[in-house]
Structure 1
Amino acid sequence: MAGDPAPLASLSVTHVYYDPQDPISLFCAYLALLPQALCVVYATLIWSTREVEIGLTFAGQLTCEALNFALKRLIKEERPAAMHGKGYGMPSSHAQFVTFWSVSLGLFLLVRHKPSKAIDSRAPSSAHTPWSVGERMAVTVAGAAVAALTSWSRIYLNYHTERQVWAGSITGVVSAVGWFTIVGIARYTGWLRWGLETPIARAFRLRDLVVEEDPCQSGWEKWEERRVKSGSGKPKTN
């Protein structure tokens, strides 16, 4: 019939509904994959660095998701009428997830991260310069922009109302600040240091270096030392 809306398409694998005639709708559908992508990033960083700070942030992220699951079933507010999916919509889990991530990133970079400049005396040219406050602020703003765009996309795709997205964002902020405070208390009281000395933490080689140095710093210094010893990395000539 004339005037009927165009049929929606389902983004492969995720089944996120979007309007195939609308490029913005497709872009929003890809933004819906951000939480899954961030989980992959979390898991990769935890496995590759064994940094307890990253692991604790991920634990907070999962706790925030559990809170969202409980709130949805407590409030039981339906999604917009135009939505073709299932489940409750208050608060928005996507908005809550990405807001927790962006606020946690900003709090770490601007409050907890205290990097020191490391210089290898055997290789003066290899001075390691950590991110400046301005650079960390820029990353924080970029993270907040990505979170805001993802949250907006949920309204554009009719998965949530503005009220549901705002509720998710506010819950994400409160959860991130609360979790950051809990981890800070664990650090201040020595419980985190104690935990890192337990057999299971030692078995998994957990460490707590990222607060004071960039993740690549220690590995880079080892590489520079080896490079200098081998002749500054210059190819041998006959």
Structure 2
Amino acid sequence: MDDIPLASLSLTHVHYNPADRISYLCAWLALVPQGLCVVYATLIWSNREIEICLMFAGQMACEALNWCLKRLIKEERPREMHGKGYGMPSSHAQFVTFFSITLTFFLLFRHVPHPTETHTPLTFAQRFLLSILALISAAAVAASRIYLTYHTPKQVLVGCAAGAIFAIFWFAFTTYLRRSGLVEWGLETTISRLFRVRDLVVQEDLVDSGWARWEERRARRGLKNGFVVQGKKSK
């Protein structure tokens, strides 16, 4: 057993030039897909929103497509690359492109938040700026794969194209599921009720979830302790 060489967990193993600050930044950008998976898992567990579940399902399907394309095309990575596996198309580029475009479609075409007594949702212009930021961030991650020599420009561009095409397909598919009533039907199934899956984020901001109930609790607690909501003691 002592003679067996140790292996490297390539999931977070990134090669970069320690003397190059841009290379160091690119190494951090390489961890964005893993970070987004943590965000997905956290939001699904804490909010149980069907829209987020559908988006994550599409993200995983996009990853499966990338896995198939790499083994179908079988194009090697650049010679400078020390890693393993095929390089066409770039999985990082495909991942972040799908995420950013799907998020953009949601924010601009599906998300219609209504204002409440305690919260004013983002305007369309603000959601548009957020979408631009998401697309720029995805472009930065894709470009980092070229800078670190993990992929050729062609491999990154094909990855972006595959992610964009699949994002359009997935948004159209989920739109069909909603308009056909299949999402509403699925929410009424026993397993959805068991896990408390809901569909509020289309018309409600995530940051507003439960806030009205919290404000009511604060008001009741303040009155009980002899304080008004603003924190001033009542006479």
What amino acid does structure 1 have at the position aligned with 2:217?
A: R
What amino acid does structure 2 have at the position aligned with 1:67?
A: L
1:78–1:88 CA contact under 8 A, matched in 2: yes
Change (3 A) 1:11 1:31: farther
Change (3 A) 1:69 1:131: same
What amino acid does structure 1 have at the position aligned with 2:81?
A: M
Deviation at residue 12 of structure 1 after TM alignment: 10
What TM-score comes out, normalization by structure 2 length?
0.90
What amino acid does structure 2 have at the position aligned with 1:234?
A: G
Cα distance in 1 between the residues matched to 2:116 and 2:230 = 21
Cα distance in 2 between the residues matched to 1:40 and 1:147 = 17
Cα distance in 2 between the residues matched to 1:98 and 1:17 = 20
* Alignment pair present for 1:165 and 2:156: yes
Deviation at residue 234 of structure 1 after TM alignment: 2.3
Deviation at residue 227 of structure 1 after TM alignment: 2.5
Counterpart in the other structure of 2:49? 51
Unaligned runs of 5+ in 2: 1-7, 223-227
Counterpart in the other structure of 1:184? 175
Counterpart in the other structure of 1:84? 82
Aligned length: 222
Show the 5 A alignment for 1:1-238: 14-119=12-117, 126=118, 128-229=119-220, 230=222, 231-232=228-229, 234=231
Query: Structure 1 stretches (4+) deviating beyond 3 angstroms?
Result: 10-13, 235-238
Unaligned runs of 5+ in 1: 1-9, 120-125
* Structure 2 counterpart SS, 1:83: coil
1:11–1:29 CA contact under 8 A, matched in 2: no
What amino acid does structure 2 have at the position aligned with 1:79?
A: R
RMSD in angstroms over aligned alpha carbons? Answer: 1.9
